[in-house]
Amino acid sequence: MKVIRNYVNGEFVGRKREFSDINPADGSVIAQVSEADEEVVDRAVQSARTAIRGEWGRLGAVARAALLRKVGDWIESRFDCFVAAEVADTGKPISLASKLDVPRAAANFRAFADLISTAGVESFQTETADGRSALTYAIRKPLGVVGIIAPWNLPLLLLTWKVAPAMACGNAVVVKPSEETPATATLLAEVMEKAGIPKGVYNVVHGFGPGSAGEFLTQHPEVNAVTFTGESKTGAAIMKTVADSVKPISFELGGKNAAIVFADCEFEETVAGVSNAVFLNTGQVCLCAERVYVQRQIFDRFVDALKRKAGDLRIGSPLEDETEMGPLISKEHREKVLSYYRLAREEGATFMAGGGVPQFGNSLDGGYFVEPTILTGLPESARCMKEEIFGPVCHIAPFDTEEEAVAMANDTKYGLAASIWTSNLKRGHRVAQQMNAGITWVNCWFLRDLRTPFGGMGLSGIGREGGIHSLNFYSELNNICIKL
Ligand code: NAD
Ligand code: 6OH
């Protein structure tokens, strides 16, 4: 059986305690994973610290950028390995891993290589009371050792979204991938070596959250900052852990995102776009729309069309090119999603599509599939309308006026993303500007420019990453003032 090991100071490190890495498409065991104990996590942090004091710490931004570009190139050279590992760990269709996850990982390194080699800093000339002046300017220094905790839904994409800017700014990192998806973070270690990244700059520790590698990492006194993507309640737990040592944190958390569909939308494009926003990655994207609001004139037609789309989705083996939807990540997560399907029934929903578990009559019946599901008829106060389900499911409700749609969309404790579908551009701007969300898309969804601010409000997170915002999080700006 293959063993996935921790990666510390340029070496793969095993441990007696292991856990299984499961393929969610059929429930088979892919590998055993070495669980990092406190000592391994400590060694990883120490090796990161040592790396900053060594060759890595002496490199300038241009040299670091050149190394990051090599990492991007090596990800591309090993494209098929990354795709295969991501597909086996997550069950996502091979077409999705090939189009989204792995290309974005390479793009993350290239984007932050470009940014760090061109980014400026602020400077001001200040008039002083004595008629002279002062010049102030800021310089960028690394934070030090950055602890990166990543989720399972877009494992490599979301990990590299943080590793790339952290390294661009001169930090060394210790990453803890999700226990569900340990493979690609470990493959990335091989790529780091190939690209010539000095030992200790990139370390991987495997394990769980509480009482395991996640907690050991976040509570480590020599970790200078913690950046986390995952559930809001995990963010709250991490915040408590880091509070005593007052570490900078960046949190990208959950969502309960709305899509607002106006009667004047480009109908077919909108149905395809909303279907993607609901079902992509089996609904396991933090940006997915779980609440769809449709203007009453086109409500029945839209529900019918989305139902047809859901019915047409090809669910099956992630390894087949034509598969459009794979399983959920785990047995436990399927139990959670199915518990929401049951709750929706109790709360009075009508199931317009799905609600159950598909049967295949082959090994896929050992996997964690659920049917794409469309609900109607729930009151806005229902738990299914308030809590993040994180599965291939949405509720569709009608609205009459723009004001009503805005009020319903904003009636959530989350604030990550929204999408608006209309052919009236003035309305698009007007409604977008009223959304309480970190990002609002008009006539599109999950269209990303890596230079733009990304993050959430409320339960959806703290801080913004992307472009200069990432550089600002992953560096200490030191201000220098000179009297002239
Ligand atoms: P999760 O919070 O269960 O786990 C995320 C990571 O945190 C894992 O590596 C886990 O081992 C670790 N962890 C858990 N408890 C910990 C603790 N006490 N201390 C330290 N580490 C701990 O999230 P998940 O189930 O892997 O991912 C799905 C969730 O992530 C959804 O809520 C989704 O919306 C959210 N998400 C948000 C974004 C975003 O950018 N806003 C992106 C992707 C996913
Ligand atoms: C959440 O599941 C998706 C997050 C996406 C990003 O962080 C990104 O940079 O595209």
Angle between helices 155-168 and 61-77 (to 10 degrees): 160
How far is it, in rounded angstroms, from Cα 343 to Cα 193?
Answer: 49
Q: Whose CA is nearest to atom 9 of ligand 2?
A: 161
Whether residue 15 has pLDDT greater than 90: no
Q: What Cα–Cα distance (Å) separates residue 375 from each residue in 283, 343, 372, 417? A: 14, 12, 10, 20
CA of 310 to the centre of ligand 2 (A): 23
The tens digit of pLDDT for each residue in 141-180 reads: 999 999 999 999 999 999 999 999 999 999 999 999 999 9
Beta-strand pair 123-127/172-176: unpaired
CA dihedral angle for residue 205, residue 206, residue 210, residue 214, rounded to 10 degrees:
30
- Residue 145: the pLDDT is 98
How far is it, in rounded angstroms, from Cα 285 to Cα 390?
Answer: 7
Whether residue 244 has pLDDT greater than 90: no
Tokens 């994409």 belong to 157
For residue 218, give the ligand 1 atom closest to its CA: 20
- Which mutation among 90, 102, 158 tests ligand 2's pocket best, with the greatest number of atoms within 8 A of CB? 158
Tokens 């010539």 belong to 196
Q: Whose CA is nearest to atom 10 of ligand 2?
A: 448
For residue 234, give the ligand 1 atom closest to its CA: 2
Active site includes 252? Answer: yes
Name, in order, each residue with C-beta under 8 angstroms of 76's C-beta and a sequence gap of 6 or more. 106
Whether residue 83 has pLDDT greater than 90: yes
Q: What Cα–Cα distance (Å) separates residue 374 from each residue in 5, 310, 395, 472? A: 41, 8, 6, 41
CB of residue 319 inside a 6 A radius of ligand 1? no
CA of 324 to the centre of ligand 2 (A): 19
- Residue 143: the pLDDT is 98
pLDDT band at 42; cut points 50, 70, 90:
very high
User: Which of these, 409, 158, 421, lies nearest to 290 by C-alpha position?
Assistant: 409
Q: What Cα–Cα distance (Å) separates residue 280 from each residue in 234, 355, 393, 455? A: 24, 17, 11, 20
CA of 180 to the centre of ligand 2 (A): 18
- Which mutation among 149, 231, 252, 389 tests ligand 2's pocket best, with the greatest number of atoms within 8 A of CB? 252
The tens digit of pLDDT for each residue in 65-74 reads: 999 999 999 9
Q: Give me the amino acid identity at 154.
A: L
Q: What SS3 class is residue 50? A: helix
CB of residue 111 inside a 6 A radius of ligand 1? no
How far is it, in rounded angstroms, from Cα 280 to Cα 157?
Answer: 15
Whether residue 480 has pLDDT greater than 90: yes
The tens digit of pLDDT for each residue in 431-461 reads: 999 999 999 999 999 999 999 999 999 999 9
Q: What SS3 class is residue 115? A: helix
Beta-strand pair 393-399/417-421: unpaired
For residue 284, give the ligand 2 atom closest to its CA: 2
- Residue 406: the pLDDT is 98
Which of 286, 288, 384, 394 is labelled catalytic? 286
CB of residue 416 inside a 6 A radius of ligand 2? no
Output the average pLDDT for the chain: 98
CA of 157 to the centre of ligand 2 (A): 8
Whether residue 344 has pLDDT greater than 90: yes
CA of 390 to the centre of ligand 1 (A): 12
- Residue 185: the pLDDT is 98
- Residue 333: the pLDDT is 98
- Which mutation among 234, 330, 331, 452 tests ligand 1's pocket best, with the greatest number of atoms within 8 A of CB? 234
Whether residue 361 has pLDDT greater than 90: yes
- Residue 371: the pLDDT is 98
CA atoms within 13 A on the CB side of 242: 24
- Which mutation among 100, 149, 227 tests ligand 1's pocket best, with the greatest number of atoms within 8 A of CB? 149
Q: What percent of the chain has pLDDT over 90?
A: 99
CA of 359 to the centre of ligand 1 (A): 29
Whether residue 245 has pLDDT greater than 90: no
pLDDT, mean of residues 419-428: 98
Q: What is the pTM of this model?
A: 0.97
CB of residue 152 inside a 6 A radius of ligand 1? yes
CB of residue 158 inside a 6 A radius of ligand 2? yes
- Residue 423: the pLDDT is 98
Which of 35, 252, 290, 324 is labelled catalytic? 252
How far is it, in rounded angstroms, from Cα 190 to Cα 184?
Answer: 10
pLDDT, mean of residues 36-54: 98
CB of residue 227 inside a 6 A radius of ligand 1? no
DSSP structure string for 194-262: HHTPPTTSEEE----STTSHHHHHHH-TT--EEEEES-HHHHHHHHHHHHTTT--EEEE----EEEEE-
How far is it, in rounded angstroms, from Cα 437 to Cα 443?
Answer: 16
CB of residue 251 inside a 6 A radius of ligand 1? no
Contact indicator for 332, 339 with CB cutoff of 8 Å: no
- Residue 321: the pLDDT is 97
Name, in order, each residue with C-beta under 8 angstroms of 407's C-beta and a sequence gap of 6 or more. none
The tens digit of pLDDT for each residue in 190-236 reads: 999 999 999 999 999 999 999 999 999 999 999 999 999 999 999 99
Q: Whose CA is nearest to atom 23 of ligand 1?
A: 230
What are the beta bridge partners of residue 350? 376
CA of 327 to the centre of ligand 2 (A): 20
The tens digit of pLDDT for each residue in 107-119 reads: 999 999 999 999 9
- Residue 431: the pLDDT is 98
The tens digit of pLDDT for each residue in 263-277 reads: 999 999 999 999 999
Q: Which ligand is nearest to the CA of 205?
A: 1
